[in-house]
Amino acid sequence: MHLRPRFVLIAIVFVIFAFNLATAKAAPRKAKVHTVGLGAAKRVPYSKAGDPSGAAAGETSLKIRPLVVDTVLKDWTTGEDHYVTDRSFAVRRAIRINDALPGDKGGRWVWQRGPWLLVDRVTGKLTAVRLPDYDPGVSLVSWFRDYAAYCGLTANGKNLYAVVMQVAARKPLLVQKLAAFDPAAGRTGAVCAAPEWQREPLRITFHPTGREAASFEIVPGSAVLVEETGDEDQPAEAAPAK
């Protein structure tokens, strides 16, 4: 039995197509390397009028830096960044908000200090860091590993708490009342200085203004931060963040 040339050609094309399809499925996906970094710093006008809960008395400017992912501006940041792991770092947002009243012509844009972000240098993913009772004008965050320690302010604004939160954990490791909050005492560092960490034993010390320092030992545990790679292979080395 002889096959017609046309059917032979179709059979050959089918075999080649099936082979290429199987090869494509078997081949590992090539990892996409993301470029993540903080750009050059600049200063913008900043004051109590624009950020009543965040600006210190007499503060006239705020130093901000762009957060860039793959050459695209993703957000603005302020302050120092903190490396949680060799591929993830935390940094505080700088927010530009419209302060215009109804009836004002045009926008009145002002800068404010915002919450914290967790930046993954491999995937380029930005995640808001959940910090319970965090107040931009009171909470000076002190980082150690994947722990964030700060003085938190309750929603009713009456009590000041010592808080230690582990990144990606559901509940704080520590929540302890320090004192009643007095709004007249001032904000942004005047109420509570940045907490101090000690490695061994793992201990955190809070310094509420006008009161004795309060120290707490923290039971160390495994990091709860899960760094995702998705379906792609992890690159051998991520792009530098600075």
Delimit the domains of the chain by residue range: 29-129, 131-220
Residue 40 confidence (pLDDT) above 90: yes
- Rounded CA separation 74/167 (Å): 21
The predicted model gives 41-46 an average pLDDT of: 96
pLDDT of amino acid 161: 94
pLDDT of amino acid 92: 96
> Cα dist. 69→24, 26, 66, 81, 208 in Å?
29, 30, 10, 16, 38
pLDDT of amino acid 234: 43
Decide: 90 and 117 in contact? Cβ < 8 Å. Answer: yes
Burial 164-196 (b: 16+ CB within 10 A, else e): bbbbbbeebbbeeebbebeeeeebbeebbbbbe
Residue 208 confidence (pLDDT) above 80: yes
What would the pLDDT profile of 66-94 be if each residue is shown by its tens digit? Answer: 999 999 999 999 999 999 999 999 999 99
Which residues have C-beta within 8 Å of that of residue 28, sequence separation ≥ 6? 233
What would the pLDDT profile of 154-178 be if each residue is shown by its tens digit? Answer: 888 889 999 999 998 889 999 999 9
What would the pLDDT profile of 109-154 be if each residue is shown by its tens digit? Answer: 999 999 999 999 989 999 999 999 998 888 999 999 999 999 999 8
- Rounded CA separation 76/59 (Å): 19
User: Letter for the amino acid at 113?
Assistant: R
Model pTM score: 0.75
pLDDT of amino acid 9: 55
